[in-house]
A and B are shown apart, each in its own frame.
Chain A
Amino acid sequence: MSIRLTIMDQMAQVAREHGKALAPLEDDLALLDSGLDSLGIAVLVARLEDRLGVDPFTTSDDVQFPVTIGDFVRAYENGAR
């Protein structure tokens, strides 16, 4: 599964667990408008670290915190390289 698909899959999973409805996940959608709140995103980041072996927001100091879904996915794609 690609990094992008893994992220989308986990977002859907976390949303289900938290009883939230996900918005259509376009790249320019703000992360906080996706339907996940900050706790949901914290859970998502932890799950992704377990699956992808990387947490791009903790491992590097100079990573900008992601605003949009596209930023979020790119942080992982860059972190995996």
Chain B
Amino acid sequence: MARAKALSLRHHIENAPASQFFYDRATTIRVGDLNQGTSLNGRLAELAGRSVLIATTSQLTSGLALIELDGVARRIAILPPDVDPAHLGALIANAEIDAVVVDGESSALFSNVPLVVTCTPQIIPDERVPAAGPETEWVLLTSGTTGVPKMVVHSLAGLVTAIPPQKFSETVVWATFYDIRRYGGLQIFLRAVLGGASLILSSAGEPIDNHLGRLEQHGVTHLSGTPSHWRRALMSPDIGKISPGYVRLSGEIADQAILDNLRVAFPNSSVGHAYASTEAGVAFAVNDGLAGFPAAYFEGVRDGVEMKVVDGSLHIRSPGTASRYVTAQSGPLLDADRFVDTGDMLEQRGDRYFFVGRKGGIINIGGLKVHPEEVEAVINRHPLVRMSLVRSRQSPITGAIVVAEVVLKPASQQPPQESEVRDDILKLCRDALPRHKVPVSISFVPALAVAATGKLARRG
């Protein structure tokens, strides 16, 4: 599929409004200053035509480097903060990295890379801009939990296909609980850059109340995160400080409970959930407040996106999909018809489709299959439940059985008896699920781990 070459990010900020800022905990940057300045200490020309790894510690410097490098570097590979350093050597070799951008001291891990350039969270005047080269390749890492992450090749044109053309707006202030160095967060970064909107970034290790305080201070209007991010945010006493007009979820299954909870928490906001993956790109958004999506989405081509279900798994063909993996060993990314198999499993109920879990995440109970996510969706319906994790427990009889860990909402008045809540949850499950999907035990825990990707951490 031929793709139009997109304008580079630098072109997109040529008319940046004076009120467009990037904020993090320590710094405020006026985006338009990049038109006559650099955050790379005047060394952008040295990076022209190179394959550059962006390995800064802060999201802000990553964002600045992306704007400067797009259209100049041959390839930009974006390193998320949580990648195991043990994998860096393989990533650098496979992506043919010959330059690294850092924002602090360079690491010994980069000693074999010929060029290391420092990016600072400030823009110094510099009128020189290297001549635009061929279209830059964007390389994103997948968020798999084991082994070397796969490197996925996108173009800027593909990355922005789902972003509606918009008038520059001085009133839109984006923020994301994601890291912009992952696909979901990068979408928000690009929305802000293309839309002339400000963007509030979180800083490493920043407590949620501090982050929410800054969102209030800068007047966030559009806020995005995974359902797990949102469940955690809803547990903060400071959540009432913000009132974004648009609340967006993606990256995990948005069940009806989290959508309802967000509607109650933000009665004046529109709440939408989107489906996207690093490989498949953004496929669709759902804005009717209901979990799942209309079956009509499978009819024809919608916004360039075609979808089909093969063996229960969602397949997507669109101009927003990645073109390939960097290395052939990662396998073909597209099938012969240029569809991506997302591995996200669907179930049709009436005129809607619902995500039920991951193809690889199935628990096998004596031959009967369970997706943890479908059980979590039922548990999360209980009004006192904030979030839950369903996992398998070894059984000598059926190989595995289902158990659940549950985080309750903070008790507003008298804390409920755990045994009563447990019985209520089990009744919900028994009414909604076949026997083998009902958890054998429910334990109440103070918190559940959320991985750096914003997704619930699932153990084996």
Contacts and interface: CB of A to CB of B under 8 A. Distances in A.
B441 A58 contact: no
Interface string A30-63: 0000000011011101110010000101100000
Nearest to B436: A39
B430 A38 contact: no
B393 A46 contact: yes
Given A43-B401, A43-B440, A45-B395, 16 more contacts: A17-B426, A17-B430, A38-B366, A38-B398, A39-B366, A42-B366, A42-B395, A42-B397, A42-B401, A45-B396, A45-B397, A46-B403, A46-B441, A47-B440, A57-B396, A57-B397
B167 interface: no
Contact of B394 (A39, A43, A47, A58): A58
B433 to A, nearest CB: 12
Determine which residue in A38, A39, A41, A45 has the highest number of CB atoms from chain B within 10 A of its CB, and name it.
Answer: A39
26 contacts: A17-B426, A17-B438, A38-B366, A38-B397, A38-B398, A39-B366, A39-B368, A39-B435, A41-B397, A42-B365, A42-B366, A42-B396, A42-B401, A42-B440, A43-B401, A43-B440, A45-B397, A46-B395, A46-B403, A47-B440, A47-B441, A50-B441, A55-B396, A57-B396, A58-B394, A58-B396
Interface in B62-87: none
The CB with the most chain A CB atoms within 10 A, among B365, B435, B438, B440, is that of: B440
Contacts of B395: 42, 45-46
A18 interface: yes
Contacts of A18: 435
Contacts of B426: 17
Interface residues of B, number: 18
Nearest to A43: B440
A41 B426 CA distance: 18
B401 A46 contact: yes
Given A17-B430, A46-B441, A39 B396 contact: no
B398 A39 contact: yes
Interface string B414-432: 0000000000001000100
Contacts of B441: 46-47, 50
Nearest to B365: A39
A79 B438 CA distance: 28
A41 B416 CA distance: 31
Contacts of A45: 395-397
A18 B366 CA distance: 16
Interface in B364-385: 365-366, 368
Pick the most buried of B394, B395, B426: most chain A CB atoms within 10 A of its CB: B395
